[in-house]
């Protein structure tokens, strides 16, 4: 497995590989790899001639310095895991290489980023869109892989690709969960054993919402109220937001007559976790 640090070197190699007719896949990551990342990497490996993983903890997407400092890092473990799933190349630049002195260009996706994660973490999606656009320009993938766990992020990236006419396909893969339903996330590494036991409450609330929609309930507020009750019954949990939204526009929905996505962000102690469920409405009998 090759490791490249310099953007120019990565760009030249990608250009050469594309000239040779190779199909390139990219999985952008910030490291601290978990089963969710590994599922993306395996799929990328299976569908492309060359699978690239980027490994870069992007300072531009953290609205709080303490959050950036607390972001888990395990480069040695990451390299081993990446190699084990067959990654061909790791692109791992430094912050100075991605944002050299004088850097001043950012990508803003508008309406889609105003709510939910965008409202709770000002500037977050501007940082994500910017770094992802730069990674696409440097690595030049034909296909890039993202997890549904970061639902709003995946839509923002898809929107950016469409709006900027970027020549690649964005592939979104399902959430990978641990046995008790907790969505795989690098942030789970920061949970204490007690917090880890509390964390599946997000999934419990989503399951309850899904069951109600499947049973034919259409009032979003009643379902959100039930989700709040479930989460508030867990002493270590504190809700940031819970929402029932249109699955593409992410605007709140009041009556559930077609597919919706439930989005939630919950603090478990000092760790903020997000999760979601895309729910189809059963066909009328
Ligand atoms: O989802 C992540 O890990 C990051 O937001 C991403 C897409 C790698 C951009 O830094």
Q: Is the pLDDT of residue 285 over 60?
A: no
Q: Is the pLDDT of residue 284 over 80?
A: no
Contact 248, 266 (CB under 8 A): no
Which residue in 34, 37, 124, 142 is the catalytic one? 37
Map residue 141 onto helix, strand or coil: coil
Please indicate, yes or no, if residue 25 is contained in any of the structural domains: yes
Q: How do residues 87-127 score in pLDDT, each as one tens digit?
A: 999 999 999 999 999 999 999 999 999 999 999 999 999 99
Mean of the per-residue pLDDT values for the chain? 97
Tokens of 211: 């069951």
What is the reported pLDDT for 118?
98
Domain boundary, last residue among 127, 149, 173: 173
Give yes or no: residues 115 and 144 share one domain: yes
Active-site annotation holds for 37: yes
**Atom 2 in ligand 1: which residue has the minimum CA distance?**
29
Ligand 1 centroid vs 57 CA: distance in angstroms? 8
Please work out whether the CB of residue 271 comes within 6 Å of at least one atom of ligand 1.
no
Ligand 1 centroid vs 283 CA: distance in angstroms? 36
Query: Which of 200, 208, 264 is CA-nearest to residue 236?
Result: 200
Please indicate, yes or no, if residue 179 is contained in any of the structural domains: no
Please indicate, yes or no, if residue 243 is contained in any of the structural domains: yes
Give yes or no: residues 148 and 204 share one domain: no
Give yes or no: residues 25 and 165 share one domain: yes
Give yes or no: residues 166 and 221 share one domain: no
Please indicate, yes or no, if residue 284 is contained in any of the structural domains: no
Q: Percentage of the chain surpassing pLDDT 70?
A: 99
Give yes or no: residues 168 and 190 share one domain: no
Please indicate, yes or no, if residue 178 is contained in any of the structural domains: no
Q: Quickly state the pLDDT bin for 251 (edges 50, 70, 90).
A: very high
Give yes or no: residues 271 and 250 share one domain: yes
Domain boundary, last residue among 173, 207, 232: 173
Give yes or no: residues 211 and 76 share one domain: no
Domain of residue 17, CATH code: 3.40.50.620
Q: How do residues 132-169 score in pLDDT, each as one tens digit?
A: 999 999 999 999 999 999 999 999 999 999 999 999 99
Number of structural domains, the chain?
2
Measured at the alpha carbon of residue 147, what is the angle toward residues 259 and 200, in degrees to the nearest 5?
Answer: 80
Q: How do residues 49-71 score in pLDDT, each as one tens digit?
A: 999 999 999 999 999 999 999 99
Give yes or no: residues 128 and 33 share one domain: yes
Atom of ligand 1 nearest to the CA of 57: 10
Domain of residue 216, CATH code: 3.30.1300.10
Please indicate, yes or no, if residue 126 is contained in any of the structural domains: yes
Residue 20 per-residue DSSP state:
T
Ligand 1 centroid vs 28 CA: distance in angstroms? 6
Please work out whether the CB of residue 117 comes within 6 Å of at least one atom of ligand 1.
no
For 97: left if phi > 0, alpha if psi spans -120 to 50, otherwise beta; the answer is alpha
Give yes or no: residues 157 and 246 share one domain: no
Please work out whether the CB of residue 30 comes within 6 Å of at least one atom of ligand 1.
yes
Please indicate, yes or no, if residue 112 is contained in any of the structural domains: yes
Range of the domain at 12: 2-173
Give yes or no: residues 129 and 24 share one domain: yes
Give yes or no: residues 236 and 159 share one domain: no
Domain boundary, last residue among 139, 173, 207: 173
For a ligand 1 pocket test, name from 36, 58, 129 the mutation site with the most ligand atoms within 8 angstroms of its C-beta. 58
Give yes or no: residues 11 and 150 share one domain: yes
Measured at the alpha carbon of residue 34, what is the angle toward residues 184 and 54, in degrees to the nearest 5?
Answer: 120
Cα distance between residue 217 and residue 256, in whole Å: 8
Please work out whether the CB of residue 237 comes within 6 Å of at least one atom of ligand 1.
no
What is the reported pLDDT for 179?
97
Please work out whether the CB of residue 28 comes within 6 Å of at least one atom of ligand 1.
yes
């Amino acid at each position: 497995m090759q490791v490249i640090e310099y953007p120019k070197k990565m760009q030249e190699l990608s250009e050469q590989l594309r000239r040779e007719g190779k199909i390139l896949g990219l999985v952008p990551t910030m490291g601290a790899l978990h089963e969710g990342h590994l599922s993306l990497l395996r799929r990328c490996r299976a569908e492309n001639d060359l699978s690239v993983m980027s490994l870069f903890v992007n300072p531009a997407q953290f609205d709080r310095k303490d959050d950036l400092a607390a972001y888990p890092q395990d480069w040695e473990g990451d390299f081993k895991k990446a190699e084990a799933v067959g990654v061909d190349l790791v692109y791992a630049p430094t912050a100075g290489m991605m944002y050299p002195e004088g850097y001043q260009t950012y990508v803003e996706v508008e309406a889609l980023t105003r709510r939910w994660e965008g409202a709770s973490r000002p500037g977050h999606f501007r940082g994500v869109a910017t770094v992802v656009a730069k990674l696409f320009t440097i690595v030049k993938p034909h296909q890039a892989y993202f997890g549904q766990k970061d639902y709003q992020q995946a839509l923002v990236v898809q929107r950016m690709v469409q709006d900027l006419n970027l020549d690649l396909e964005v592939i979104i893969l399902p959430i990978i969960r641990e046995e008790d339903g907790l969505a795989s996330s690098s942030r789970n590494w920061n949970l204490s054993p007690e917090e880890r036991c509390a964390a599946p409450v997000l999934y419990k609330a989503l399951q309850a919402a899904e069951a109600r929609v499947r049973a034919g309930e259409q009032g979003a507020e009643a379902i959100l109220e039930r989700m709040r009750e479930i989460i508030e019954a867990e002493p270590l949990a504190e809700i940031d937001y819970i929402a029932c939204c249109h699955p593409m526009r992410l605007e709140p929905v009041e009556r559930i007559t077609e597919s919706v996505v439930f989005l939630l962000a919950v603090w478990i102690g000092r760790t903020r976790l997000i999760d979601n469920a895309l729910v189809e409405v059963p066909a009328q009998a």
